[in-house]
Amino acid sequence: MADLFQPIPARPAPVATEGLVPWVRRNLFGDWKSAVTTVLLLALALYLLPGLIDWGLFGAVFGAQADACQAARGSGACWGVVTEKWRVIIFGRYPYEEQWRPEIATLVMVAALVASCVRWFWRPWLVAMWVGVLVVFFVLMGGGVLGLTPIRTDLWGGLPLTVMLATLSIFLAFPLSVLVALGRRSNLPAIRTACVIYIELIRGVPLISVLFMASFMFPLFMPQGMTIDVLARVLVGITLFAAAYMAEIVRGGLQAIPKGQLEAAATLGLTYWQTQRKIVLPQALAMVVPSMMNNFISIFKDTSLVTIVSLYELTGALGLALNSDVNWRPFKIEAYLFITAIYFAFCFAMSRYSLWVEKQVSVSRTR
Amino acid sequence: MSDAIVTFEKVNKWYGNNFHVLRDIELTVARGERIVICGPSGSGKSTLIRCINALEEYQEGRIVVDGTELTDDVKAVEAVRRQVGMVFQQFNLFPHLTVIENLTLAPMWVGHLPKAEAEERAMRQLERVRIAEQARKYPLQLSGGQQQRVAIARALCLTPKIMLFDEPTSALDPEMIKEVLDVMIELAGQGMTMLCVTHEMGFAKAVADRVIFMDQGQIVEQNAPHEFFDNPKSDRTKDFLSKILGH
């Protein structure tokens, strides 16, 4: 007698596999080794935490009193250094009475950055908005029009400089890197060679030396009487540096596109640029979102190197604020924790946003 | 022959300097003819049909497609590709675009059709391959057979005169082969010129006007299907047929 096919109805799993308790059981107390580790780490945290809270909170001095801070040394944090110096740390050498200008300029730019991350704003006028934002930023910072006192670019500093350098160099380097990556895979030997030389040259030197060249050597080669603003030179330096690294990331994505995609596009009669724009880049860039964002974050932090050419961005401004002041110099750690928090806020936001973007671009790949 | 749509004249092709992949290929395809090409792997059959739309270049001889000689000239390549649709073994759908976007891309960007018209045309082709209800899905959300039918529809959207099929069912689960073959049989019935690399001998018997057997870069034998299967002339063909029909 032939067996009849009897479908077995689906039933729920006998033990819960989702939720907090199963998660804890599986990940923290999976076997005796992880259980011991969990207990030891918990004990360590309980041992260290009270001291840390005491130092940072209950024993800490929040007012700008250098004497009180001296007295509390070793037992409590001196947040007073931030209370006292935050304007120099945030705005660098920018003249004190005019600091409302970088404040507004930075807020406008950060608001524009946040807006650009939201899907609703991805409309054609976003470009126009950015042009407006940049005009507002540079007019406010530089002055010289609308009755604003002119402020030389070498006096710009602190967070506004950090945000502006990172934003502009990322925006400029990204399209450049895509072109260089495409160029490196071009069939035309001249273009390919030029791109390879550019990438290898830039990758072969540290960012510091690029900045040195942009700042000190480049002017020597300029014709007499002609100068380019140091900030512009440094911005170009960072952009060229970042683009070389990003080009290699993009190239990784390009190489992961199966040849069949190109053949299908060719068969349909798409031109080279149509194929790149409609088929290759959307897929290649979607694949490299994590490493691209990694690079963006690294550029944001690398802007701290412009201090060595006397542009005092956030990190440089901190040194500026404390090095010359004997009263407050001992409390560098607290001040560094302050700018650490600022850097972390920006970088963590970027990293979270990257996860969201990854989810968006993987829509087509989920079944 | 005035109604020839593809002609190969003494075509030779090498990969690198030493791998002679196509040897003295002579082939004339009549308008509306349905040809099945079979042969062992590495025999050059895919390379042969990929030469027709210039996915592969050749070093000697002459290929003329619908009156245009295929040369290095970009214009000639463009003109030929406009007349030739192709379906691949691995479908090669664009995974980041929905089904309908896959179909409208080329008509809009190459044919400069307005979006509404391109979508209307796409829906007509999707109905033709019986998959219109999946138009808004992404390719990877479909089964292999469905994906291959979308790929056929995509090629048809450019109203080609010739369709090339490069092992269209080889990557499919057995249960899905039939739905793709049915679409191809229907297409054949509508008078499309087709060149099909496949080992589906049932398909060859059902629709082919001619079966071509290739080995080591040469056309070993070609004949009408019943003659080819019942009365193969060369020993190499007999050997091949006994292997693929034997089980």
pLDDT (mean) for B2-29: 89
Q: How is residue B213 annotated by DSSP?
A: E
Is 50 exceeded by the pLDDT of residue B1?
Answer: no
Closest chain A C-alpha to B184 CA, distance in angstroms:
19
What digits encode the pLDDT tens for the residues A81-103?
Answer: 787 788 888 888 888 888 888 88
pLDDT for res A139: 86
- Least CB-CB distance to A268: which of B90, B106, B139? B106
Q: Is B19 in the A-facing interface, judged by CB distances under 8 Å?
A: no
Interface of A with B (CB under 8 A): 258, 260-261, 263-264, 266-270, 274, 278-279, 282-283, 286, 361, 363-367
Is 90 exceeded by the pLDDT of residue A5?
Answer: no
Chain B contact set for A267 (CB, 8 A): 53, 55, 81, 84-86, 155
pLDDT for res A11: 86
Is 90 exceeded by the pLDDT of residue A325?
Answer: no
What digits encode the pLDDT tens for the residues A121-171?
Answer: 888 888 998 999 999 888 888 878 887 888 888 888 889 989 999 999 999
pLDDT band at A365 (very low <50, low <70, confident <90, very high): low
Please state which of the ranges A74-83, B17-26, B86-95, B211-220 shows the lowest mean pLDDT.
Answer: A74-83
Candidates B51, B96, B148, B150: best to mutate against A (most CBs of A within 10 A) is: B96
What digits encode the pLDDT tens for the residues B22-34?
Answer: 999 999 999 999 9
Residue ranges of B 108-127 with Cβ closer than 8 A to chain A: 109-110
What digits encode the pLDDT tens for the residues B172-195?
Answer: 888 889 999 999 999 988 889 999
More confident residue, B103 or A95: B103
Instruction: Flag if A268 and B140 touch (Cβ within 8 Å).
Output: no
Chain A contact set for B155 (CB, 8 A): 267-268
Chain B contact set for A258 (CB, 8 A): 90, 92
What digits encode the pLDDT tens for the residues B112-123?
Answer: 999 999 999 999
Instruction: Flag if A269 and B141 touch (Cβ within 8 Å).
Output: no
What digits encode the pLDDT tens for the residues A6-40?
Answer: 888 888 888 777 788 888 888 888 888 989 999 99
Percentage of the residues of chain B whose pLDDT score is greater than 70: 98
Structure tokens at A31: 């076997």
pLDDT for res A231: 86
pLDDT for res B6: 92
A132 phi, psi to nearest 5 deg: -60, -45
**DSSP 3-state assignment of B222?**
strand
Is 80 exceeded by the pLDDT of residue B143?
Answer: yes
What digits encode the pLDDT tens for the residues B55-65?
Answer: 999 999 999 99
Interface size between A and B, measured as CB pairs under 8 A: 67
Residue of B nearest to A278 (CA): B105
pLDDT band at A367 (very low <50, low <70, confident <90, very high): very low
Burial A18-48 (b: 16+ CB within 10 A, else e): eeeeeeeeeeeeeeeeeeeeeeeeeeeeeee
Chain A contact set for B98 (CB, 8 A): 364
- Least CB-CB distance to A260: which of B53, B90, B106? B90
**Of A336, A345, A349, residue with least CA distance to A79:** A336
Q: Is B49 in the A-facing interface, judged by CB distances under 8 Å?
A: no
Chain A contact set for B101 (CB, 8 A): none
Instruction: Flag if A286 and B96 touch (Cβ within 8 Å).
Output: yes
Instruction: Flag if B96 and A261 touch (Cβ within 8 Å).
Output: no
Is 80 exceeded by the pLDDT of residue A79?
Answer: yes
pLDDT (mean) for B146-154: 94
pLDDT band at A240 (very low <50, low <70, confident <90, very high): very high
pLDDT (mean) for A336-364: 88
Distances (CA, A) of A202 to A298, B78, B112: 16, 39, 42
Closest chain A C-alpha to B190 CA, distance in angstroms:
22
Asked whether A111 and A92 are in contact (CB, 8 A), the reply is no
pLDDT for res A364: 60
Instruction: Flag if B93 and A282 touch (Cβ within 8 Å).
Output: no
pLDDT band at A253 (very low <50, low <70, confident <90, very high): very high
Closest chain A C-alpha to B86 CA, distance in angstroms:
7
User: Is the C-alpha dihedral spanning B97, B100, B101, B103 positive or negative?
Assistant: positive
A347 contacts: CB under 8 Å, gap ≥ 6: A297, A300, A301
ipTM of predicted assembly, 2 dp: 0.90
What digits encode the pLDDT tens for the residues A257-310?
Answer: 999 999 999 999 998 999 999 999 999 999 899 999 999 999 999 888 888 887
- The C-alpha atoms of residue A336 and residue A325 are separated, in whole angstroms, by 15
Is 80 exceeded by the pLDDT of residue B99?
Answer: yes
Closest chain A C-alpha to B139 CA, distance in angstroms:
8
pLDDT for res A61: 79
Percentage of the residues of chain B whose pLDDT score is greater than 90: 62
pLDDT (mean) for B32-38: 93
Closest chain A C-alpha to B144 CA, distance in angstroms:
13
Instruction: Flag if B81 and A274 touch (Cβ within 8 Å).
Output: no
Chain B contact set for A261 (CB, 8 A): 92, 94
Strands B4-15 and B84-87: what pairing? unpaired
- Least CB-CB distance to A365: which of B90, B94, B95? B95
Q: How is residue B29 annotated by DSSP?
A: E
Q: Which residue has the tokens 């045309």?
A: B121
Percentage of the residues of chain A whose pLDDT score is greater than 90: 37
Please state which of the ranges A190-204, A234-248, A350-364, B46-60 shows the lowest mean pLDDT.
Answer: A350-364
- The C-alpha atoms of residue A352 and residue B20 are separated, in whole angstroms, by 54
Instruction: Flag if A365 and B140 touch (Cβ within 8 Å).
Output: yes
